[in-house]
């Protein structure tokens, strides 16, 4: 595994199943144990949670038509919404950077969370349309330099078997 033998100042993970299972695999190769951080969870999709696109379109035709025209988290019935999602992720990132002024920190999380972090660094908001391609199990790097955070890399999948890399579905 690419991270084998690396030591981290801290290791956080979303407590949602897929991210947590990934963090356990990383823990076995690094010897570091992740700390569950619910603030790193993917956006909560309310009534759409767990549904395939076809099911969403069938059950929520008006909301899905508006989403298809102009994606916006605030259109998702019963969902977390853009402002709450961005505030939650931003607060988690701020806390992680506050706790760890130096050293490498590993966070296993979800594509939407990574999108929010990247958008924040480039000074944009995201209301449902993501600008970056984020593959499952990819590595994105945020670096703190001279008091600011910069993007050191996005969607690095060089460590993955090409046969296992799949195009991510819509958010």
- The percentage of residues in the chain with a pLDDT greater than 70, rounded to a whole number, is 94
149: CATH: 3.40.50.1240
Residue 58 is assigned to a structural domain of this protein: no
How much is the average pLDDT of 8-37?
92
Q: Report d(CA 94, CA 26) in Å as an integer.
A: 24
Residue 26 is assigned to a structural domain of this protein: yes
Residue 137 is assigned to a structural domain of this protein: yes
Average pLDDT of the chain is 88
Residues in the chain: 171
Question: Dihedral of CA 52/69/83/34: which sign?
Answer: positive
Residue 169 is assigned to a structural domain of this protein: no
Give the pLDDT confidence score for residue 129 in this predicted structure: 67
| pLDDT surpassing 70 at residue 66 | yes
∠ CA 151-19-137, nearest 5°, is 55
How much is the average pLDDT of 1-22?
87
Domain count across the chain: 1
Residue 70 is assigned to a structural domain of this protein: no
DSSP 138-167: -EEEEEEETTEEEEEEEEE-TTS-GGG---
Helix 111-122 crosses helix 82-99 at what angle (to 10 degrees)? 80
Residue 66 is assigned to a structural domain of this protein: no
Q: What pLDDT, in 10s, does the model give residues 141-170?
A: 888 888 888 888 888 887 877 776 766 544
Residue 59 is assigned to a structural domain of this protein: no
Residue 36 is assigned to a structural domain of this protein: yes
Q: Report d(CA 112, CA 73) in Å as an integer.
A: 11
Q: Report d(CA 53, CA 130) in Å as an integer.
A: 17
55 or 129, which is more confident: 55
Contact of 55 with 34, CB cutoff 8 Å: no
Give the pLDDT confidence score for residue 170 in this predicted structure: 46
Give the pLDDT confidence score for residue 39 in this predicted structure: 97
Give me the domain span that covers residue 156: 10-44+80-164
Hey, which of 41-50, 99-108, 128-137, 147-156 has the most confident mean pLDDT?
A: 41-50
pTM: 0.85
């Amino acid at each position: 595994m690419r991270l084998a033998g690396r030591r981290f100042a801290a290791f956080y993970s979303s407590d949602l199943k897929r991210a947590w299972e990934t963090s356990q695999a990383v823990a076995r190769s690094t010897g570091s144990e992740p700390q569950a951080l619910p603030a790193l969870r993917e956006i909560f999709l309310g009534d759409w949670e767990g549904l395939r696109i076809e099911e969403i379109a069938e059950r929520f035709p008006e909301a899905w038509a508006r989403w298809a025209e102009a994606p916006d988290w605030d259109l998702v019935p019963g969902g977390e919404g853009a402002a709450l999602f961005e505030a939650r992720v931003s607060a988690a990132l701020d806390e992680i950077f506050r706790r760890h002024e130096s050293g490498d920190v590993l966070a296993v999380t979800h594509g939407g969370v990574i999108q929010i972090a990247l958008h924040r660094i480039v000074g944009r908001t995201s209301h449902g349309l993501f600008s970056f391609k984020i593959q499952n199990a990819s590595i994105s790097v945020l670096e703190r330099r001279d008091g600011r955070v910069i993007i050191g890399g996005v969607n690095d999948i060089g460590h993955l078997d090409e046969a296992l890399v799949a195009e991510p579905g819509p958010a």
